């Protein structure tokens, strides 16, 4: 079709299908209109084919057709955007070749980098000083063009009258990890956004970490060598026509009225809890408590921002510590399928920069720019960190701020920034010696810094102990999975995702008086159980665990699709937390739960023994001098009911912490 036929066809198409909406858009000052490609192809297949082959000319024809309509309002700079391109136009970044230049393509990927919005010249008008002729020059390349010659014969030195500026921004799009095969590296391409695509509303769609679909025209740009000459190689970029956010967060999931009715029906089911637990990871046997906690983690608590600026996080962080082959990684991988904005990273392959943020050379602005890591990229999503114990100490310490304050602060290469990191973290690790020792306490076998462990709301140890009855059930379950590949869950993955999204979108439950009292009573009862006759022997629970209880109670209410946290929600939260504390924080010596076992690595009973040994060393120093025989310490300690092996353990701890040293074998001396 020639240009005049294209303009005529578009004019007919607009009048027949979109006259009212288009006139309304122009009248209200909107500068763009979106057309469904499927609708256009039904109206005129030839025009639709032309759009895919020569997009620049056809899109310009559609804009001229709009200008020719008898519309009230300013149609200058009005843009037509096309969505729902055919599937054969969807192309992966790695498959883009020279033959695709100038074609209309659809590309899906993750936004990795984003430049600032800057004005860009589209048309510049020049005046000839000799004859007064006005020359308009279209600015299509990256370099600013001036007219070479005027009709009167004058060459050069034209006066710039005016230039039309539009907002422009560059983003770097990277292939999604799920689209990659084998050991290939994700490829990147530059995308140019202009006009309404960089408005404040559409900017949210293109934040780093977002998954987007871009419909645009593939173009080439010359590479300028250091000598100032053009290279024979060209760079590729996409001039975008339409940008659409793919399911980025729970808030973006669209729920139809029919699905809403199904969700409400499901919420009234008596066996809702059982169905949710069985559907979260149907291919993994057992672990019902953990699965229940994971469902609660997906819906989360309520984020509260107070008037004084203080923020209480609503995200529930969970740590799984278990024997090899107990299904931890499988659980983590499964959650990536249920949560819409999820990322999976593994310990040895993750660094502090990869998790938080790094400063990189910016190709657009020729300076330094910030590139977000896994945690800020999953803002309002969930980040799975496997093999947490294999990470280096320095890299792990970068997570502290992200877990509690939910921000990431960076000050590097003249960039001082704070990134939002409202991310839920699900981490997995192995015990200190690879497998749990059934005769030692669990807290002693967790090889993670206490400050990091303390930020997790729930810690689940997963032990793999032989048990004939349990082993037979598990063997049957695993073998039946291999025998029959079709595994039907009570709730399909898509429906489960929609259910969680609906619970998160619509409900922000508030504590009722009965739930308030239930949580308060449990907290006070646990605190009181740690003290005997006015002296504190153990600290069974701290204020951090109370906040975790509130978050878990709110999550339980959300799962019921309720606006109020009832007593039963509080009981469910208490039951989960108590089972975790009993497994991880139980102190056999005192027969009580001791949170210090987890948070500081030293139980209260151990701390009191450290105090006794320090006191003995101080007393003996006054009697015998600075160098003290360990045998004397042992004798004195046994009179105060401290065993020999416990004395040895305390002396080792004091040596490691730098309180004492061994000047000669069998003797210790205090470091003043």
- Is there a single domain that holds both residue 186 and residue 272? no
93 and 78, same structural domain?
Answer: no
pLDDT tens profile 59-77 = 888 888 888 877 677 777 7
Kindly state whether residue 592 falls inside one of the protein's structural domains. Answer: no
Indicate the average pLDDT of the chain. 78
Are 518 and 558 contained in the same domain? yes
* pLDDT tens, residue by residue, 187-222: 888 888 888 777 776 666 777 767 788 888 888 877
Residue 186 covered by a domain: yes
What single string gives the DSSP state of each residue in 599-632? Answer: HTSS-HHHHHHHHHHHHHHHHHHHHH-SEEEHHH
Sign of the torsion angle spanned by Cα atoms 250, 256, 260, 263: negative
Residue 493: pLDDT over 80: no
- Rounded CA separation 504/523 (Å): 27
Residues 236 and 100 in one domain: yes
Q: Indicate the pTM of the whole model.
A: 0.70
CATH value at residue 80 = 3.30.1640.10
411 found inside a domain: yes
What percentage of the chain reaches a pLDDT higher than 70? 86
The domain boundary residue, chosen from 178, 211, 246: 246
Lowest mean pLDDT among 1-5, 261-265, 468-472, 599-603: 599-603
C-beta separation of 31 from 194 below 8 A: no
Percent of the chain with pLDDT over 90: 0
Arithmetic mean of pLDDT, 551-558:
88
Rounded average pLDDT over 338-365: 73
Residue 167 and residue 121 share a domain: yes
Query: By residue range, what is the domain housing residue 651?
Result: 604-670
* Mean pLDDT score, 592-606: 55
**CATH code of the domain containing 95:** 2.40.50.140
Question: Is the per-residue pLDDT at 603 higher than 60?
Answer: no
Q: What ranges make up the beta strands (E) of 225-374? A: 230-245, 304-305, 311-312, 318-322, 342-346, 357-361, 368-372
Are residues 102 and 80 part of one domain?
A: no
Q: What is the CATH number of the domain that holds 430?
A: 3.40.50.300
Say if residue 424 is in the same domain as residue 330.
yes
* 305 and 352 both lie in a single domain: yes
**pLDDT for residue 181:** 66
Residue 655 lies in a domain: yes
Residues 301 and 152 in one domain: no
Per-residue pLDDT tens over the stretch 616-636: 888 887 777 778 888 878 878
In whole angstroms, what is the distance from residue 539 CA to residue 78 CA? 67
Contact 93, 109 (CB under 8 A): yes
Rounded Cα distance, 212 and 230, in Å? 33
Beta-sheet strands, E only, within 457-599: 458-462, 510-511, 531-532, 535-536, 564-565, 586-587, 592-593
List pLDDT tens digits, range 266-313. Answer: 878 787 788 888 777 777 777 788 888 888 888 888 888 878 877 788
Q: Does 284 fall in a domain?
A: yes
Tell me the CATH number at 659. 1.10.10.10
Residues 6 or more apart whose Cβ sits within 8 Å of residue 398? 352, 355, 356
Same domain, 62 and 195: no
Contacts of 296 (CB under 8 A, 6+ apart): 316, 552, 555, 556, 559, 576
**Token pair of 468, please?**
């004939």
Q: How far apart are the first and last CA of the chain?
A: 93
How does residue 537 score in pLDDT terms, banded at 50, 70 and 90? Answer: very low
Task: Give 231-257 pLDDT, tens digit per residue.
Answer: 788 888 888 888 887 756 666 677 778
Domain count along the chain: 4
pLDDT at 182: 59
Q: Residue 599: inside a domain, yes or no?
A: no
Domain's final residue, options 84, 102, 121: 84
Task: Specify if 156 maps to a domain.
Answer: yes
The pLDDT of residue 142 is 65
Which of 198, 221, 246 lies at the terminal end of a domain, its last residue? 246
Q: What is the average pLDDT across 635-644? A: 77
Helix (H) or strand (E) holding 670: strand 667-670
Average pLDDT over residues 28-43: 84
Do residue 37 and residue 162 come from a single domain? no
Residues 334, 478, single domain; the answer is yes
Residue 598 lies in a domain: no
Element containing residue 218 per DSSP (H, E): strand 211-224
């Amino acid at each position: 079709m020639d240009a005049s036929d294209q303009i005529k066809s578009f004019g007919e198409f607009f009048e027949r299908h979109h006259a009212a909406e288009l006139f309304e858009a122009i009248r209200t000052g909107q500068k763009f209109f979106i057309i469904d490609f499927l609708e256009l192809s039904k109206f005129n297949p030839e025009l639709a084919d032309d759009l895919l082959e020569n997009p620049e000319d056809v899109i310009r024809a559609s804009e001229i057709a709009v200008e020719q309509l008898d519309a009230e309002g300013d149609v200058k700079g009005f843009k037509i955007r096309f969505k729902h391109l055919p599937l054969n136009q969807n192309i992966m970044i790695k498959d883009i070749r020279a033959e695709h230049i100038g074609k209309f393509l659809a590309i899906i990927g993750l936004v990795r980098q984003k430049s600032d919005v800057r004005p860009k010249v589209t048309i510049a008008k020049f005046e000839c000083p000799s004859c007064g002729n006005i020359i308009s020059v279209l600015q299509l390349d990256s370099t600013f063009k001036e007219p070479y010659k005027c009709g009167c014969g004058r060459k050069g030195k034209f006066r710039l009258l005016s230039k039309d500026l539009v907002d422009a921004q560059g983003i770097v799009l990277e292939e999604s990890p799920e689209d990659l095969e084998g050991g290939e590296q994700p490829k990147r391409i530059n995308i140019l956004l202009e006009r309404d695509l960089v408005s404040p509303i559409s900017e949210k769609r293109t934040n780093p970490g977002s998954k987007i679909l871009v419909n645009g025209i593939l173009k080439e740009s010359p590479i300028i060598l250091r000598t100032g000459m053009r290279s024979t190689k060209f760079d590729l970029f996409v001039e975008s026509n339409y940008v659409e956010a793919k399911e980025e967060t729970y808030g973006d999931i669209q729920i139809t009225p029919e699905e809403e009715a199904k969700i409400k029906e499901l919420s009234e089911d008596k066996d809702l809890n059982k169905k949710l637990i069985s559907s979260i990871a149907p291919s993994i046997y057992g672990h019902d408590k953990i699965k229940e906690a994971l469902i609660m983690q997906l819906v989360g608590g309520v984020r509260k921002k107070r008037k004084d600026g203080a923020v209480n996080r609503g995200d529930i962080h969970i740590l799984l510590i278990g024997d090899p082959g107990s299904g931890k990684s499988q659980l983590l991988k499964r959650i990536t399928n249920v949560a819409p904005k999820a990322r999976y990273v593994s310990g040895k392959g993750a660094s502090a920069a990869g998790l938080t943020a790094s400063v990189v050379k910016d190709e657009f602005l020729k300076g330094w720019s910030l590139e977000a890591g896994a945690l800020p990229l999953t803002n309002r999503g969930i980040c799975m960190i496997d093999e947490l114990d294999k990470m280096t100490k320095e890299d792990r310490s970068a997570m502290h701020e992200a877990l509690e304050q939910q921000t990431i602060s960076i000050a590097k290469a003249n960039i001082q920034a704070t990134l939002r990191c409202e991310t839920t973290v699900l981490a997995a690790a192995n015990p200190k010696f690879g497998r749990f020792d059934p005769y030692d306490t669990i807290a002693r076998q967790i090889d993670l810094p206490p400050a990091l462990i303390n930020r997790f709301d729930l810690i689940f140890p997963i032990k793999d102990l032989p048990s004939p009855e349990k082993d037979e059930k598990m063997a049957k379950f695993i073998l039946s999975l291999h025998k029959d590949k079709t595994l039907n869950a009570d709730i399909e993955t898509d429906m489960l995702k929609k259910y969680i999204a609906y619970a998160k979108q619509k409900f922000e439950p508030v504590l009722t008086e009965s739930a308030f009292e239930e949580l308060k009573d449990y907290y006070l009862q646990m605190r009181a159980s740690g003290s005997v006759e006015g002296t504190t022997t153990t600290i069974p629970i701290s204020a951090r665990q109370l906040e975790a209880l509130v978050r878990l109670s709110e999550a339980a209410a959300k799962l019921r699709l309720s606006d109020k946290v009832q007593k039963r929600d509080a009981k469910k939260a208490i039951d989960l937390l108590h089972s975790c504390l009993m497994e991880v924080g139980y102190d056999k010596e005192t027969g009580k739960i001791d949170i210090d076992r987890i948070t500081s690595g030293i139980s209260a009973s151990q701390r009191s023994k450290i105090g006794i040994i320090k006191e003995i060393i101080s007393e003996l120093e006054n009697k015998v001098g600075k160098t003290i025989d360990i045998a004397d310490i042992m004798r004195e300690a046994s009179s105060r009911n401290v065993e020999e092996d416990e004395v040895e353990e305390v002396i080792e701890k004091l040596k490691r912490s730098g309180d004492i040293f061994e000047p000669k074998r069998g003797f210790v001396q205090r470091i003043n």
